[in-house]
Amino acid sequence: MRLTPGPARGIDLDSVDLFDLDLYTAGDPHPIWDAMRAKAPLHHQVLPDGREFWSVTRYEDVCRVLGDHRAFTSERGTVPTHLGTDDVAAGVLLTSTDPPRHTEVRRPIGSTLTARAVKSWEDAIRRTVVRFLEPALDGEPFDLAERALLLPALVTGPLLGIPEQDWEQLVQLTAMVTAPSDPHFRLGSEAATLAIAHHELVAYVTEWVKRRRASGGDDHSLLDHLMSVRPGGAPLTDEEIALDGYSILLGANVTTPHTVSGTVHALIERPEQFEKAQADPTLVPNLVEEGLRWSSAACNFMRYAVDDVDIAGGTVPARGAVVAWIGSANRDATQFCDPHTFDLTRSNAKRQVAFGFGPHFCIGAPLARLTLRVFFEELLQRFGSIEPAGEPEHLRSYFIAGMTHLPIVAQKRRTP
């Protein structure tokens, strides 16, 4: 979807279809979200097949839905692609589990992913990023978005204990889960694509666990760590490890590539911001935060109301599905001054909720921030300029905001 909105226009909120894939592939949802925040902060939509959902678009309401698991449960599904079908892995899959079990499984894994813990991986990540950027410096067109899909696997594959020969396959499968309607990833119908990808990913982790158990494991990788987690004092079953490993693979692969592409595209459109970042490398951490806010790669998350809940001036009925629009919250003018302006010096960019909010705040956020910081440090040091080499193509998904193609031409930066 477009990250730089077009001109304001009249919006008929009664006819808005937030599940219209064309809106995100070739359209512009930001004026719609602007109108919803102003006029319909709780918006109700019924799909042609009878499924219905409520949307919240204001920053504070999004945080409330994602932060209050007692009022808004994750245990019926958390992504809108599953709307209307309760998650069969609810209560087991980490992303579809509420506290206290969610906390018991998450805490020991999170302890290996703190900012202090991941700092030791910085040198390895930097070497990976340098190798990734090198082909772009020959002056030929370089499709950043397409190649960036593999970047998280290059970084996290070794940390997860996944062999290099499997990275490309797993990236493809995770893309199929999050964008099953995109022609680059679809295999048959959307439902078939989701089913195939889910089955293959769970089967992969299941086989991985069997091999690790047979070899004794090395207890060093993140997936190995799942084998030692004991929520309630009991170890996870192989099925639980497979489902939680599936969840970790999705989180590791899905959003960082689109944050990279969205931020680079913003810098291409605003060369003065690129020059400002080059002139002052201390701005890179804030550039990362503004890039996360701007791109909001995880466009939304879904919850279900446990009971009737009053929110945003209306009521969501018990068992009603609520979609919290991250992409809208990160453009809320009550939180971010001039929100549709990309500003790497923005003083409160770190308030963005691109990693979610509350119990399900992205467990890999410290690693993602480190990877993005290193990426832009190296890009700004090596690239003297970046020019478009074609039109970007946007992901066909209302869940993940991203690009499938971003052709660029880069020139090496001259050293003084």
For 81-139, what is each residue's pLDDT tens digit?
Answer: 889 888 888 888 888 999 998 998 888 888 888 999 899 999 999 999 999 999 999 88
Neighbours of 111 (CB within 10 A): 10
Backbone φ, ψ for residue 384 (5° rounding): -85, -30
Long-range contacts at 352-355 (CB < 8 A, ≥ 24 apart): 352/289, 352/290, 352/292, 352/293, 352/296, 353/59, 353/62, 353/63, 353/66, 353/326, 353/329, 354/255, 354/259, 354/292, 354/293, 354/295, 354/296, 354/297, 354/298, 354/326, 354/330, 355/292, 355/298
Distance CA 120, CA 114 (A): 11
DSSP3 helix / strand / coil % (the chain, rounded to 5)? 50, 10, 40
Distance CA 7, CA 218 (A): 56
DSSP state of 212: H
Long-range contacts at 14-20 (CB < 8 A, ≥ 24 apart): 16/43, 16/45, 17/45, 18/43, 18/45, 18/55, 18/323, 18/398, 19/45, 19/47, 19/80, 19/398, 20/398
Strand 300-305 with 321-325, pairing: antiparallel
**42-46 sheet: strands from edge to edge:** 42-46, 52-56, 321-325, 300-305, 72-73
Distance CA 161, CA 170 (A): 13
Radius of gyration over every alpha carbon of the chain, rounded to an integer in angstroms: 21
Instruction: Write down how long the chain is.
Output: 416
Distance CA 83, CA 48 (A): 13
Neighbours of 354 (CB within 10 A): 25
Backbone φ, ψ for residue 112 (5° rounding): -90, -5
Per-residue pLDDT of the chain (416 residues; tens, 9 = 90+): 788 887 767 889 999 999 999 999 988 999 999 999 999 999 999 999 999 999 999 999 999 999 999 999 999 999 898 898 888 888 888 889 999 989 988 888 888 889 998 999 999 999 999 999 999 998 899 999 999 999 998 998 888 888 889 999 999 999 998 899 999 999 999 889 989 998 999 899 888 888 877 776 555 677 777 777 777 778 888 888 888 888 888 887 889 999 999 999 999 999 999 999 999 999 999 999 999 999 999 999 999 999 999 999 999 999 999 999 999 999 999 999 999 999 999 999 999 999 999 999 999 999 999 999 999 999 999 999 999 999 999 999 999 999 999 999 999 998 76
**What separation in angstroms does the CA of 313 have from each of 37, 58, 309?**
11, 12, 10
For 219-275, what is each residue's pLDDT tens digit?
Answer: 567 777 777 777 777 888 888 888 888 888 888 788 999 999 999 999 999 999 999
Q: Which element (helix H / strand E) includes 82?
A: none
Instruction: For residue 47, give the 3-state DSSP assignment.
Output: coil
Phi-psi region of 50 (alpha: psi -120 to 50; beta: other; left: phi over 0): left
What is the per-residue DSSP string for 254-291?
SSHHHHHHHHHHHHHH-HHHHHHHHH-GGGHHHHHHHH
**Do residues 319 and 73 touch, judged by C-beta distance below 8 A?**
no
Superfamily of structural domain 21-412: Cytochrome P450 (1.10.630.10)
Look at the block and give the residue holding tokens 């590539």. 257
